[in-house]
Amino acid sequence: MKKIKDFIPVCNAYLDGNEKKYVLDCLDTGWISSAGKYVKEFENRFAEYCGCKYAVAVTSGTAALHIALSSLGIKKGDEVIIPSFTMIACAFAVCYTGAKPVFVDVDKDTWNIDCSKIESKITSKTKAIMPVHIFGNPCDMKAVMKIAKKHKLHIIEDCAEAHGAEYYGKKAGSFSSIAAFSFFANKNLTTGEGGMVVTNNKKYYDRCRYFRNMCYSLDKPRTYEHDDIGFNYRMTNLQAAVGLAQIEKADFYRTLRINNNKIYRKYLKNVEGISFQKDEKNSLNVCWMNAILIDKEKYGKTKKELVQYLKDNNVDTRLLFTGMHKQKSLKNYGCSMLGKYENTDKLTADGLYLPSSANLKESEIRHICGLIADFKDK
Ligand SMILES: Cc1ncc(COP(=O)(O)O)c(C=O)c1O
C-alpha cells in the first residue's frame, strides 16, 4: 500500500524552549547529579505553577505516588481507594507501602472515578482516596473532598496526566493533602523520565524529601544513621534542567494540547459512532491524550479494525488501560476483584487514543480524521 504520509507517532516530546541551553550548562559545569541548582529551581517554579507551597522532584510519577503515600503514613493493613480505570502505577504505588488498593468504577462520560460509588467501598481500613485526573480531565474534587472530610480520609491527587488542569479556576494538585505528577516523555510537561510531589503541608514535604533520599536525616545529612527504610528517588540536575525549561513554557504547551483536541472534535463531529470524553463541570481539561470510543454498531467497524487501518496508513495509536480488577498481579497480591466495573470494561473494549503530540499540525489531525471517516464507509 502506498504511504500517503510520514509516520505519525502517538506522542513526541516537544522541547521548544531553553531545554538544550540548561542541559548544556549542567554538562559544562559538571553538575549532573541531584545536587545541582536546577532541581531546586524546577521545584520552586513547579510548586508556584500549581498554587502549592512545596514541591519535591523525583525519578518518576510512580515514585511520586509512592513517597506521597509513605509521607502520609499509609502502611500494611490500610486500604486506599483508586479508580478501576487508570494506569497500573496507582495500584502498584499503594502495594509498595503494603496497603491494598480498592477499586471504584469510573463515570461513563468523564471517565473519572464515579464519586457516587466511593462510599460503598469505604471500610474501617480505608485511609485515603486517590482520584486520578484521567487524560487531563479534572475529577469532581468537590465531591471527593466532601467524602474525604466526612470519613476523615486523605486525598492523594494523581495528576500524572493533568499538568495545568483546572477545577473551579484552581490548579490540579492543589486540592489534596498531597499530589503526584509524572514527567514521562509523552506527558504535557516532560523531563524524559521524572515525577513531582506537591503539597501545602510542611510535614509531608519534609517526609517526602526524607524518603526520596534514603531516609538520611534532614537535619544531619552527613551521618550514616537511618531510622527508616528509604528510597533513592532523586531527580538529576539534567532532568530538572529540561523540566525548568518546560515549566517556563507550561501555558504554551497546555494551549497546544487543548487546541489539538478541539481540532480532532471538529473534524470527527459528523462521524457517527465516534465519541470523546466529556469534560468535568467547571474545569479545564488539558487533553493529555485524544482518546476516542468506537461504537461498532454505528461506526460499522471494530476498534481492532480501525487500529489496523490506521497502522497501515502510518498512524500510530494506543489502546486504553485494562481495568485494575482484571490485573493478575493485583489479584495475586490479594486485592478484591469482585464487583462490576462496566464503564471501565467499556473503555478498555472500545477505546483507543490517537496521536497527541503538542506540536501536531492541523493538517496531520485533518489527515487522521479523514482516514477515520473514510474507513467507516469502506
Ligand atoms: C495516571 C497515571 N499515574 C501514574 C503514572 C506513572 O508515571 P510514571 O510513568 O512517570 O512512573 C502514569 C504514567 O503514565 C499515569 O498515567
What secondary structure does DSSP assign to 104-136, as a single string? EPBPTTT-SB-GGGTGGG--TTEEEE--B-GGG
Amino acid 284 reads L
Query: Residues enclosing ligand 1, CB less than 6 A?
Result: 60-62, 86-87, 89-90, 132, 158, 160-161, 182, 184, 195
Tell me: pLDDT of 1 over 90: no
Tell me: pLDDT of 245 over 80: yes
Q: Which of 11, 92, 137, 161 for a ligand 1 pocket mutation test, highest count of atoms within 8 Å of Cβ?
A: 161
What per-residue confidence (pLDDT) applies to 80? 98
Q: In the chain, list all ranges with CATH 3.40.640.10.
A: 19-248
Confidence of residue 137 (pLDDT cuts 50, 70, 90): very high
Confidence of residue 377 (pLDDT cuts 50, 70, 90): confident
CATH class of 19-248: alpha beta
Q: In the chain, list all ranges with CATH 3.90.1150.10.
A: 250-376
Tell me: pLDDT of 364 over 60: yes
Whose Cα sits closest to atom 10 in ligand 1? 61
**pLDDT, averaged across the chain:** 97
CA distance linking residue 257 with residue 268, whole number of Å: 17
Tell me: pLDDT of 204 over 60: yes
Tell me: pLDDT of 208 over 80: yes
What per-residue confidence (pLDDT) applies to 132? 98
Where does 250-376 sit in CATH, by number?
Answer: 3.90.1150.10
Share of the chain above pLDDT 90, in %: 96
Tell me: pLDDT of 145 over 60: yes
* Tens digits of residue pLDDT in 66-96: 999 999 999 999 999 999 999 999 999 999 9
Mean pLDDT of the 108-113 span: 98
Confidence of residue 5 (pLDDT cuts 50, 70, 90): low
Mean pLDDT of the 316-324 span: 98
User: Ligand 1 center to residue 321 CA distance, Å?
Assistant: 12
What per-residue confidence (pLDDT) applies to 2? 44
What per-residue confidence (pLDDT) applies to 4? 54
User: Ligand 1 center to residue 61 CA distance, Å?
Assistant: 5
- Residues 6 or more apart whose CB falls under 8 angstroms from that of 216 comprise 210, 223, 226, 230
What is each CA distance from 281 to 64, 106, 169, 173, 274, in whole angstroms?
27, 16, 11, 17, 22
CA distance linking residue 94 with residue 132, whole number of Å: 14
Q: Are 18 and 244 in contact (CB under 8 A)?
A: yes
Q: Are 285 and 165 in contact (CB under 8 A)?
A: yes
Beta bridge partners of 351: 293
CB burial class (10 A; 0-12, 13-18, 19+) of residue 18?
A: middle
